[in-house]
Structure 1
């Protein structure tokens, strides 16, 4: 068996691994080298537990290397144990803490930036605790959003499947039974049978199209953004929800970085990574460049080059004039977190109502398509029997 792997040079991030397939010749090895495999980051839940534990130990005056050692001892997740072992070994060789974390490839640049800020300011325990708090908040809202969308989606899929089965399997049997006794369908019964015929002919194409669209949306961030942008332009509640979530995310990140000693332009650039694959990403980077190189005030850069709410630029202007930017950023992050919770509750209620309407409609369609022909044609069947 021939294999090839890449080894990260010192100080570089081993975030990409390549492995040649079994029995591969030179061309196979070359193809494997050209197709790197990205290392998966740790989940938010794992990172919350990690940073919470490290923060508590550093606050108790335990040095970083020992804190990593103690936390990894007895940990059931071997991937985290291996990563923390590498981090501890790199720190013991004199490497900076943030570079040691970056080399694992298991943490985002936003997290690395905050670790660097805490390390440079001598407040690494505070950086870890802030990370745990922010990630916990993101995890909370992520769970709420999934609960509000995935569960209703599953319910609709199950009911849609029941409707298709009733139209393809059950209704044809009813129609065959009525034809067997010479009863001619009319009125609602005829309409029900026509719907069944249409469903039998079209359901594979409709299901295939829906599955194809779902896969395209799942695999393409560009398509997701186009669809999301269109829906946001038509549904005000969804627009408020998404905008609150995005603005809360990058504003809280800017606050954490800036309050830990990172200059404002770099804080904005790093925070842009937290809203990657959204329009805010390029907007924030442009605003940071204009603020740093053109000398325009931060509030002006945000007003001209981003699509943030007017409230954001207004409070940033106040923070610049009164030298209270950290306080204004904290106020904005708390404000948008409260708005997000309110919008999330309203959105969940709206989705529940929509799902209820769809569920009732599908159940009614199954009942009407399956049992109504029998009820309506019962007298004719009895007369035919007589």
Structure 2
């Protein structure tokens, strides 16, 4: 609709008509009313509290460049990629995760209910546990003493992750520092976001410094936000080349710096930004596929390990108790 020269307020009005999601309809109605009162499009979206800074940053970029339809097109592509990634992760984790939960419950029940009965039967015939049987009983004693703490800890961790953005950020940082594939995935997504935003703005006549500052809003909440704004200030006020500003003041990949340098020297910056955007989009898709496959494999390993733990923890003491019972009968 925007591409067909229908204004933003009317586009939102027509789009919201017939939507089954009443919450979204109310949200779009508020946005349309705020736009009608003269508020900037991105500020109207931010005021609802329903959209993250990446969405708002891209909308601001499109509005500033006079290419709002391109911003929404870019958002549609990004959201489609995120939905594919989320679908792949759910497919790899939801069912195995449910199985793991059941297996953890089965293990706890076996250690709390079944193994103590085996221990009591062995004690009733006057036999002392030894070897693997003694180890199995010790594991049971430990589980009986700590399973409450374990369950409460898991529940507490889940609530904390759900409520605290700061904790999620800390865990994300640790995961990125320890797991190269995860770090490459997150970095690709972030760099794809701000590079595509810079490309959108610069190709529509917005100067580079402002393009970089606005693109920083699309990655707000990440280290790139402060880095990009500092790079924009240095490029605008100190006269350093754009590639040098990125090399010194951001943690962007060396490939980004190299291609920006080529763009500056050959006056083909728009073309280099296009190639960078496409390259990181492809990289992000590849990393998403690899990450989903790795998660699926890890979850499978955990499930197999728990199955083994349930079997060994429950049935091994029973098997080992047979000879002891026979000895007591003799």
Fold shared by both chains (TM-score > 0.5): yes
Task: Report how many aligned residue pairs link the two structures.
Answer: 330
Confirm whether residue 333 of structure 1 aligns to residue 277 of structure 2: yes
Distance 2:26 2:141 in 1: 59
Greater Cα offset, 106-115 or 339-348: 106-115
Q: Which moved more, 1:348-357 or 1:208-217?
A: 208-217
CA distance in structure 2 between the aligned counterparts of 1:242 and 1:275, rounded to whole angstroms = 11
Change (3 A) 1:245 1:117: closer
TM-score relative to the length of structure 1: 0.74
Show CA shifts across 1:119-140 (max 9, x none): 5555443333233223322333
| Alignment TM-score, normalising by the size of structure 2 | 0.85
Deviations 1:134-183 (A, max 9, x none): 33223333444455566655544433232222111221122222223334
Does the 8 Å contact 2:13/2:32 carry over to 1? yes
1:30 corresponds to which residue?
Answer: none
Cα contact 1:120–1:261 (8 A) shared by 2: no
Change in CA separation of 1:84 and 1:347 when aligned onto 2, cut-off 3 Å: closer
Give, in angstroms, the shift of residue 337 of structure 1: 1.9
Question: Of the candidates 310, 327, 338, which is equivalent to residue 254 of structure 2?
Answer: 310
**Could you list the per-position Cα deviations for residues 260-283 of structure 1 after superposition, in whole angstroms to 9, with x for gaps in the alignment?**
444332332333233333222221
The verdict on how the C-alpha distance between 1:278 and 1:151 changes in structure 2, with shifts beyond 3 A counting, is: farther
> Distance between the aligned counterparts of 1:367 and 1:109, measured in 2?
49
Rounded to whole Å, the distance in 2 between the matches of 1:201 and 1:107 is 45
- Tell me what 2:298 maps to: 354
Cα distance in structure 2, aligned partners of 1:356 and 1:295? 54
Structure 1: give runs of 5+ residues left out of the alignment: 1-56
The 8 Å contact of residues 181 and 384 in structure 1, kept in 2 or not, is answered as yes
After superposition, give the CA deviation of every residue in 1:222-274 in whole Å (9 maximum; x if it has no partner).
44444433343333222222222222222223223333444332332333233
Compared CA separation, residues 263 and 111, structure 1 to 2 (3 A): farther
Residues 96 and 300 of structure 2 are in contact (CA less than 8 Å); yes or no, is this contact kept in structure 1? Answer: no
Unaligned runs of 5+ in 2: none
**Residue equivalent to 2:26:** 82
CA RMSD of aligned residues (A): 2.9
CA distance in structure 2 between the partners assigned to 1:231 and 1:245 by the alignment: 16
How big is the shift at 1:85? Answer: 2.9
